[in-house]
Structure 1
Amino acid sequence: MSTRGISFLHKWITNEVPETAPPDAVFIAEFTHKLFADAKAVGIKRIEIDEDVESLYRVFVEAIAQLGGGAPE
């Protein structure tokens, strides 16, 4: 993952994912689309974010769990 991509991902999760986010597939799918749209708006390509991420779904589930949104499914 590029430094720019990983930095954007971490900042985006911190700023956009609410502490009460549910760790479910629908929420994560919606936020994944929003993530890539926001990245594109600032000139970051999808490949810069998910190049080395085995599972963006897992990244979101783990982030939600850390934020207190619930236990991973």
Structure 2
Amino acid sequence: MDFLNDWMAEHLPDAFTDDPAVITDFADQVMTAAEKQGLSRRDISEEVGSVFQVILEAIQNRSGRRYYSSRWG
């Protein structure tokens, strides 16, 4: 999902975090940004499942400024 990957590249910190409160805040921010772009929460959830889990995996598995999650291809 390009929107999610692009958003994470711009907004996630360079430092690793696994703090649930921080990741929950990022998940809320990305969903708000998606809605402003006309993407529904339901569409994103159907595409990637848990946005929280995607962000956590992406932080753990980032390569440069691109983020990767097993939840999308």
TM-score, normalised relative to structure 2: 0.71
The percent of aligned pairs where both chains have the same amino acid is: 29
Gaps of at least 5 residues in structure 2 are: 64-73
Higher relative contact order (CA 8 A, sep 6+): 1
Which one has a larger percent helix, Structure 1 or Structure 2? Answer: 1
Structure 1 residue ranges without an equivalent (≥5)? 1-5, 69-73
SS state at 1:33 partner: helix
Greater gyration radius: 1
Match of 2:45 in 1: 50
> Aligned-residue CA RMSD in angstroms?
1.8
Q: TM-score, normalised by structure 1?
A: 0.71
2:15 maps to amino acid: T
Q: Are 1:8 and 2:23 counterparts?
A: no
Moved segments of 4+, more than 4 Å: none
Which residue of 2 is the match for residue 38 of structure 1? 33
